[in-house]
Amino acid sequence: MADNKQLRLGAFMRPVSLHTGAWRYPGSYPDANFNFAHLKRFAQTLEAAKFDAFFMADHLAVLNMPIEALRRSHTVTSFEPFTLLSALAAVTDHIGLVATASTTFDAPYHIARRFASLDHISGGRAGWNIVTTSNPDAALNFGLDEHVEHDERYHNAREFYDVVTGLWDSFADDAFIRDAESGLYFDPAKLHVLDHKGEHLSVRGPLNIARPVQGWPVIVQAGASEAGRQLAAETAEVIFAAHSDLAAGQRFFADVKGRAQKLGRSRDDIKILPGAFVIVGDSVEEAQAKRAKLDSLVYYESGIASLSIALGHDASGFDPDAPLPEIPETNASKSGRERVIELARRENLTVRQLAQRLGGYSGLAFVGTPKTIADAMEEWLVAEGSDGFNVMFPYLPAGLDDFAEKVVPELQRRRLFRREYEGTTLRENLGLKRPPNRFFEGEEAAVRKAG
């Protein structure tokens, strides 16, 4: 057992599976990514299994791949995340609801208001996945001729975070009196006007909604570049990471938590959840056969398109049976590019083999029995490679059901995972502190103490 350490489990649910062949797998729902009845069923299954969060990634453009590949992709259509998560809030009670929102192509006031609304609607279960948006085609949908430079996107994101969290603190927690007899709805002394004028942003405020239930929705980030790690150490409470093995996970875990400590934060203030692609079988051989069947459903044009996106460079002209050539720096995700290049070098893969892997799933995968999967997850937790995992299912619904019905009970038997939720908010269930209001901290502390 892991000395009372508890795994945190998120579910990566947009697309419902990252694997290109998922929608074609026998028994799968081909429209799972865009069918509310299915998504409601998935969310309720995850909640019954006591998952921490349902995570809906988002794209602000159709994926930048050739039409020959795009026509085979189940990612081409998806719900807008706030609309979907607000609907799911009404049919769930405990599971966290995490949405992606871009600091590059949205306004801080919009994002602050949407997440505050989702947090109130859900009773304190919202999480904001901060992204700077790597897809260059997104820029074309927002009036730009080319994408904003990588490091500038991260630099802008830091100020953006400050503005959004400042807007969430517009009202003290006890600002709304609602005294019908006196006619006083709120106390003006408990309202703060942000009046931010910075390098990139000018936002007056205040936000026209009460402070979120959680104080702030949980701050979630991803990204392994130098800029991404530093931003995460400064601001993130949950990090969705991508590691191919435990050693890489341990290095990232130590680096980011060490950076956070130097900034005066506790190591426990950040939960690191690497993405893990999980296929469950009654035997290891059965699980491997499921993966082989799934991978066989990937077309080469889909694989080469996925490879091009990961590299930030058109790979369609590469010799399929030659090694990966030198790839120049691009303005896309730097950490994603490096992972793919390292994979090709480490396993001496041809372009065709690499495309097949990328068209399926090339990252961390646990393929085996409930026992072997639980063994691996426990090893990562004990060895400080992670605080848990952002689970990616191979196909839906069976891949999700297998995990919920077989792996979760094994983790619970080992006392590595909860049997009941610890609280009603996402923060409570993740073991994260509720942030004080930066503008009314002293007064609110006094109110809590008096109460």
pLDDT in tens, 249-292: 999 999 999 999 999 999 999 999 999 999 999 999 999 999 98
Choice between 368 and 363, residue whose per-residue pLDDT is larger: 368
Per-residue pLDDT at 420 exceeds 70 = yes
Q: What is the pLDDT of residue 152?
A: 75
Q: Is position 225 annotated in a ligand binding site? A: yes
Per-residue pLDDT at 442 exceeds 80 = no
What are the residue ranges of helices labelled H in 263-369? 284-295, 300-311, 334-347, 351-359
Per-residue pLDDT at 103 exceeds 50 = yes
Q: Is position 38 annotated in a ligand binding site? A: no
Per-residue pLDDT at 105 exceeds 80 = no
Average pLDDT over residues 54-61: 83
Per-residue pLDDT at 235 exceeds 70 = yes
Choice between 148 and 305, residue whose per-residue pLDDT is larger: 305
What phi, psi does 390 have (nearest 5°)?
-100, 100
Q: What is the pLDDT of residue 447?
A: 45
Q: Which of 98-102, 279-283, 329-333 has the highest mean pLDDT?
A: 279-283
**Which of helix, strand or coil describes residue 274?**
strand
Per-residue pLDDT at 3 exceeds 80 = no
Q: Determine the Cα–Cα distance for residues 233 and 241; give it in Å rounded to an integer.
A: 13
Residues in the chain, overall count: 451
What are the residue ranges of helices labelled H in 175-323? 226-235, 246-262, 284-295, 300-311
Record the pTM.
0.88
Per-residue pLDDT at 26 exceeds 90 = yes
Q: Is position 150 annotated in a ligand binding site? A: yes
Angle, in degrees to the nearest 10, between helices 150-168 and 226-235: 10
**Which of helix, strand or coil describes residue 409?**
helix
Domains along the chain?
Answer: 8-281+369-441 (3.20.20.30), 284-360 (no CATH)
Choice between 15 and 394, residue whose per-residue pLDDT is larger: 394
Q: Is position 58 annotated in a ligand binding site? A: yes
Q: What is the pLDDT of residue 1?
A: 46
Per-residue pLDDT at 95 exceeds 70 = yes
What are the residue ranges of helices labelled H in 312-333? none
Could you tell me what percent of the chain has a pLDDT over 70?
A: 93
| CA 230, 236, 239, 245 torsion-angle sign | positive
Mean pLDDT of the chain: 90
Per-residue pLDDT at 218 exceeds 90 = yes
Amino acid type, 396: L
What DSSP element (H or E) covers 372? helix 370-382
Q: What is the pLDDT of residue 226?
A: 86
Reading the block at residue 15, the tokens are 């697309």
How does residue 450 score in pLDDT terms, banded at 50, 70 and 90? very low
Which of 94-103, 416-425, 439-448 has the weakest average pLDDT? Answer: 439-448
Q: Identify whether 206 is preceded by a cis peptide bond (ω within 30 of 0).
A: yes
How does residue 331 score in pLDDT terms, banded at 50, 70 and 90? low
Q: Determine the Cα–Cα distance for residues 115 and 221; give it in Å rounded to an integer.
A: 15
Average pLDDT over residues 232-261: 94
Which of 147-151, 207-211, 383-387 has the weakest average pLDDT? Answer: 147-151
Amino acid type, 357: R
CA proximity to 393, closest of 34, 87, 26, 42: 42
CA dihedral 104, 195, 162, 187 (to 10 degrees): -120
How does residue 48 score in pLDDT terms, banded at 50, 70 and 90? very high
How does residue 333 score in pLDDT terms, banded at 50, 70 and 90? low
Which of 29-33, 76-80, 268-272, 283-287 has the weakest average pLDDT? Answer: 76-80
**CA separation (Å) from 80 to 30, 84, 121, 160, 355?**
19, 6, 17, 21, 29
Q: Determine the Cα–Cα distance for residues 288 and 56; give it in Å rounded to an integer.
A: 28
Q: Determine the Cα–Cα distance for residues 292 and 189; give it in Å rounded to an integer.
A: 64
